[in-house]
Chain A
Amino acid sequence: MNDKGKIVTGLVIFAALVSFPFWYNLGKAAPPPEVVLTDKAKAAKECVLPKDEIRTEHMQLLDVWRDTQVRDGQTVYINAKGKSYIMSLSNTCLDCHSNYKDFCDRCHVYASVDPYCFDCHIDNPKETK
């Protein structure tokens, strides 16, 4: 006597679980989304940091901005090129990139990140100085 039937059932379930992503996406290619730049962003030509850096490090820059702003009271950030920016998500970043749905959200949704920044900063786009 052996338990081949039960074991094969278990193996089929296991194989189905392991290959689940293949079934789930069956035939659907999912290329990364294109972000839409507003006219204002296009006109500015460059962001606070070079494109590659801002793409991967914007969240850390914002974290540093928040701490510097709140703890040290500094409000101006000067980048490597010597250009100065107000350290503010709402007034600097979202000023150019005012199209949240077609800019921020595109990549965030694709990569399944849900930053809590926008819990406040999207319903209240303009901070009062």
Chain B
Amino acid sequence: MNVKYMYSFLAVIVLFLIAYVGTEAVGLQWLFGVLIPYAALLVFLVGFIRKVMGWARSAVPFRIPTTCGQQRTLPWIRPNSIDNPSTAGGVVVRMFLEIVAFRSLFRNTRMTTKPDGRIAYQWEIFLWLGALAFHYAFAVVVLRHLRFFLEPVPAPIKLLETVDAFFQFGLPVVYLSGVVLLIAVAYLALRRVFIPMVRYISLANDFFPLFLIFGIAFTGILMRYFSKVDILSIKALTMGLVSFSFPDTAVLKGIDGLFYGHLFFVSVLLAYFPFSKLMHLGGIFLSPTRNLPNDTRMHRHVNPWNYPVHVHTYQEYEDDFREKMVEAGLPVDKPLAPAEAEKE
């Protein structure tokens, strides 16, 4: 038993019960359906911008050439212009690939000890695979949900739904992204529970978002395929949220508590986002080891937090002591002025 994941797990269950009981028993549909989502979106946007602006205020560091390829040097040595870029274009390509393909994670290795005591490093691809599946499935799920927030639903969203439901099994047709999301997030959570080294470094704030997203996917799948909810009332509510013209309270009361649990999970995720590790959504763009070209030998980097230092240059030193230097027979850059020389 580990308090870090048990507390996170219990927190998610309690959150669901708060919303479910709050709507089904207490009747706080306005609170959970309208007020909390608005508050959460506001916290998300303001918190996100504040956080990133805090990062923006800090100075750009010296280039950190943690590289994965040959640096640009002599003309006859072929440089790796993507993994060790020296130009802005190369950096753009490197950042793009990092963001869409998680190349840093692809290089993940695992250290093991062989039976004879030797240490070996293995290429470990499953974290990368799990992360890729998770992020892309989540992205598709989020984009698909735009059908509840846009009227009329634009063609690209419909196309995405068609592709997502490509295999046409089940009714309503099963969306692959939902299933992949649930499996991937379960893998990423169980990995932290069952691999001892990863469990050791996992904190409650690693488990909580995973369980929360699992809860979101789980309640979503439950609503779509098993315990049915009235989709038209839900779209009436979501369209009310984005157009500020809300449906009657009777419509809100008609929606099942399961939906409010789902919506409350999403609200909690949004409000929690700016204060958590999930800020890597914005942070990935500002990772200094990825977004700076390795051009330390081409451009002079002036330390941005340099304060003005009073420097006594050699020229000033010579001005101070020229006569004495000439007297002592030391070489000087600037000879003595003629008047002074005559005095000699």
Inter-chain contacts of B27 with A (CB < 8 A): none
Whole-angstrom CA separation of A19 from B177 in the bound complex: 23
Chain B residues numbered 213-258 whose CB sits less than 8 Å from any CB in chain A: 228-233, 235-236, 239-240, 242-243, 245, 247
Which residues in B have their C-beta under 8 angstroms from that of A21?
146, 149-150, 242
User: Complex: how many Å from CA A110 to CA B150?
Assistant: 10
Contacting residues of chain B (134-186) with chain A, CB-CB under 8 angstroms = 146-147, 149-153, 157-158, 161-162, 168, 170-173
Residue pair A56, B229 in contact (C-beta under 8 Å): yes
Point out the residues of chain B lying under 8 angstroms from A10, CB to CB.
52, 285
CB-nearest residue of chain A to B171: A63
Main DSSP-derived SS at the B contact region: helix
Q: Does A44 touch B at the CB level, under 8 Å? A: no
Let me know if A18 and B56 touch, CB within 8 A.
no
CB nearest to A113 among chain B residues: B172
Stretch in A23-31, A68-76, A78-86 with 4+ CB within 8 Å of B: A23-31
Decide if A47 is an interface residue (CB 8 Å cutoff): no
- The smallest C-beta distance from A32 to any residue of chain B, in angstroms, reads 4
Q: How far is the CB of B54 from chain A (nearest CB, A)?
A: 11
The total of chain B residues at the interface (CB under 8 A) is: 48
Give the A interface residue count (CB, 8 A). Answer: 41
Given A25-B242, A31-B247, do A112 and B56 touch, yes or no (CB 8 Å)? no
**CB <8 Å contact, B60 and A1:** yes
A3 interface contact, C-beta 8 A: yes
Per-residue contact bits, chain A 48-88, to B (CB 8 Å; 1 contact, 0 not): 00001001110110110000000000000000000000000
A26 to B45, CA, bound (A): 19
Contact A57 B228 (CB under 8 A): yes
**Nearest CB in chain A to that of B49: its residue:** A11
The closest CB in chain A to the CB of B52 belongs to: A11
**Cα–Cα, bound, A60→B179 (Å):** 19
Please indicate the chain B residues that have their CB under 8 angstroms from the CB of A116 in the complex: 168, 173
Q: Verify if B286 is at the interface (C-beta below 8 Å from A).
A: yes
